[in-house]
Amino acid sequence: MPNGRLVRKDVDALSSLEPEALRKLRNAYSQMMQIRDYRGYNYWAGIHGNPQGYCWHGPRPFSQSWHPSLRLDYDLWLPWHRAYLLYFEHYLRDQQTDPDVGLPWWDWSSDQSLEAGIPTAFSAEPVDDQPNPLYKAHIRSTDYVTSPEDRDTRRFPGDPSEIRRFLLEHITRLIGDKDEELPLYNRLVTALLSITQFEGLTGFSQTLLDIHNRIHGWTGGISLEDGRPVPGDMRVVGTAAYDPIFWSHHCMLDRLWYIWQIENGLNNIPADHLPVVLQPFGLTVRDVLDIEALGYEYAVSAEVIAGGPG
Amino acid sequence: MQAKAYTSDPISVEATPLAGDFTRADIEVHDLDHSGESFEGRVFLNNPDADESTELTLDNGYAGSFYVFGHGGCFGDVGHCEVSGQRRAYDPRQSHPLLPQTKAVRATEALRRAAAKGEDIKVTVVPVIAPGIEQPDTEDIEDVLKFDHVSIISYKS
């Protein structure tokens, strides 16, 4: 780990280049899923929607004690999820004897995802004759008030061409047919970087939020069971974080925000957002702007090529 | 059953900046409910008959879409999903997660085309929950699209 910082990697690269790291990640998830207290997977999944409901998705007012009558709209979904992933990842790493394996990101805009959809790391079942904890988690009937009987998370992803459709729609509205010959991922980054303002209905944050929403909807999907439509968990705010792919989806979004920050400024966020405390983590928005200060960075993969001269 | 679409009253082009020159125009949907199903809101201009099977082309008046990440209904105890309009002073807690949201669609080309015809513009929003999958015949599904008003914003750089 460079300077003690964790490197978050591309999950498809982990699958092909670092299968041992992926196995460690699966083990960590598996261990965390067995814990029933505040260190456990279901506790952390429950912070997002059901039952604790802390997640932010879009601007909302937030009364501040120093402005009792002033209601400002705060667009906190990116910093909130950055703090959420950070805490979750630390609890996940607690389950490792080797703490180097962090949350991998899922690039849903890659050629691979646009062809095959869900990465095999999350869709293979079983793996090495064992249940794959990245394929599904278990929601307990005690997890929230109206949770039905104990069940596994469910996922009914759509056709990958749908991802291409809505990403292209965003891209062409932002940059037209610029760089048409490049892979979709490159065009997506160019398009997002063309937005210089963080806030506003068509600013960077809300544009990325719309893409975030669509990937949630696509990944969860809907299936007909006994003639009744049943939504996949990623499609519903309340249960999305129980699906293990949630964390890697949000890693990708966090990474895109980081790439945008490098171009547009780490502090490019409304000044009145900075002192806001991101509940329940105890970090402020200012605290989470610099991922290096939080102890991680992003790479496709990282490996030692050869030893030094000694 | 399909969720009910919305079509606005006619918006006169002549009385608005759309009649002139603009470099960008957005359609905003204000105070949108996101308590139910997740859905895509497809926006069409001057195509009140658009539905989920309508092809997404400029010729069909397709202006763009937004996506609502829905809360999927109420999972808590009685009162869990009630959004109070009042907050007492000095209350440091987060506001209710179900406060309505506002979405914007960059619709420059579609609005330019519609305005160029010189006729009134009608905005239609078609909610699409899951293309090709029949939804149950319930009020929640029929009325999944709920919002306060639509506005069109034009910019000139």
Let me know if residue A14 belongs to a domain: yes
User: Can you give the pLDDT at residue A103?
Assistant: 96
Cβ contact A260:A192 at 8 Å: yes
Residues of chain B above pLDDT 90, percent: 55
Cβ-defined contact of A145 to B75 (cutoff 8 Å): yes
| DSSP string across B22-90 | -SEEEEEEEEE--SS--EEEEEEES-TT--TTS---GGGTEEEEEEE----S--SSTTTT---S---TT
Reported as type and span, the H/E element at residue A223 is strand A222-225
A88: Cα separation from own chain's centroid = 11
Cβ-defined contact of B99 to A49 (cutoff 8 Å): no
| Residue A39 CB contacts under 8 Å (≥ 6 apart), including other chains | A32, A91, A94
Please count the structural domains in chain A.
1
CATH number of the domain bearing residue A142: 1.10.1280.10
Let me know if residue B81 belongs to a domain: no
Let me know if residue B28 belongs to a domain: yes
Secondary-structure breakdown of chain A: helix, strand, coil percentages, each rounded to the nearest 5: 45, 10, 45
Instruction: Map tokens 């929601």 to a residue.
Output: A139
Let me know if residue A310 belongs to a domain: no
pLDDT in tens, B108-144: 999 999 998 888 999 999 999 988 777 777 777 788 9
Let me know if residue A306 belongs to a domain: no
Cβ-defined contact of A202 to B72 (cutoff 8 Å): no
Q: How far is Cα A254 from Cα A292, in angstroms, rounded to an integer?
A: 13
**Looking at the partner chain, which of B34, B67, B104 has a beta carbon nearest the beta carbon of A201?**
B104
- Cross-strand pairs, B43: B64, B125
Let me know if residue B85 belongs to a domain: no
User: Can you give the pLDDT at residue B122?
Assistant: 94
User: Can you give the pLDDT at residue A69?
Assistant: 47
Total beta-carbon pairs less than 8 A apart between chain A and chain B:
117
User: Can you give the pLDDT at residue A280?
Assistant: 93
Q: How far is Cα A97 from Cα A135, in angstroms, rounded to an integer?
A: 23
Cβ-defined contact of B74 to A201 (cutoff 8 Å): no
Q: Which residues of A touch B80 (CB under 8 A)?
A: 145
Higher per-residue confidence, A268 vs B157? A268
Let me know if residue A135 belongs to a domain: yes
User: Can you give the pLDDT at residue A299?
Assistant: 84
Q: Which residues of B touch A166 (CB under 8 A)?
A: 65, 67
Range of the domain at B116: 6-72+97-155
Let me know if residue B65 belongs to a domain: yes
Whole-angstrom distance between the N-terminal and C-terminal Cα of chain B?
A: 44
By C-alpha distance, which of B157, B134, B153 is closest to B18?
B153
Range of the domain at A236: 2-55+71-299
Let me know if residue A60 belongs to a domain: no
Please count the structural domains in chain B.
1
Q: Which residues of A touch B40 (CB under 8 A)?
A: 214, 217
**Looking at the partner chain, which of B40, B69, B95 has a beta carbon nearest the beta carbon of A237?**
B69
Let me know if residue A231 belongs to a domain: yes
Let me know if residue B86 belongs to a domain: no
Q: How far is Cα B157 from Cα B142, in angstroms, rounded to an integer?
A: 41
Cβ-defined contact of A214 to B64 (cutoff 8 Å): no
Shortest Cα distance, chain B CAs vs residue A122, angstroms: 22
Let me know if residue A308 belongs to a domain: no
User: Can you give the pLDDT at residue A66?
Assistant: 44
Let me know if residue A102 belongs to a domain: yes
User: Can you give the pLDDT at residue A56?
Assistant: 84
Which ipTM was obtained for this model?
0.86
Whole-angstrom distance between the N-terminal and C-terminal Cα of chain A?
A: 19
**Looking at the partner chain, which of B65, B95, B102 has a beta carbon nearest the beta carbon of A201?**
B102
Residue B5: both structure tokens together: 């679409």
Q: How far is Cα B109 from Cα B116, in angstroms, rounded to an integer?
A: 11
Q: How far is Cα A235 from Cα A214, in angstroms, rounded to an integer?
A: 9
Say which amino acid occupies A170. H
Shortest Cα distance, chain A CAs vs residue B57, angstroms: 11
Q: How far is Cα B104 from Cα B24, in angstroms, rounded to an integer?
A: 12
User: Can you give the pLDDT at residue A292?
Assistant: 94
pLDDT by position in tens, chain A (length 310): 567 789 999 999 999 989 999 999 999 999 999 999 999 999 999 999 888 888 888 777 665 444 444 556 788 999 999 999 999 999 999 998 776 789 999 999 999 999 999 999 999 999 999 999 999 999 988 777 666 678 999 999 999 999 999 999 999 999 998 888 999 999 999 999 999 999 999 999 999 999 999 999 999 999 988 888 899 999 999 999 999 999 999 999 999 999 999 999 999 999 989 998 899 999 999 999 999 999 999 986 666 666 667 6
User: Can you give the pLDDT at residue B86?
Assistant: 65
CATH number of the domain bearing residue B130: 2.60.310
Shortest Cα distance, chain B CAs vs residue A104, angstroms: 23
**Looking at the partner chain, which of A57, A62, A220 has a beta carbon nearest the beta carbon of B95?**
A62
Q: Which residues of A touch B34 (CB under 8 A)?
A: 57, 237
Q: How far is Cα A180 from Cα B83, in angstroms, rounded to an integer?
A: 45
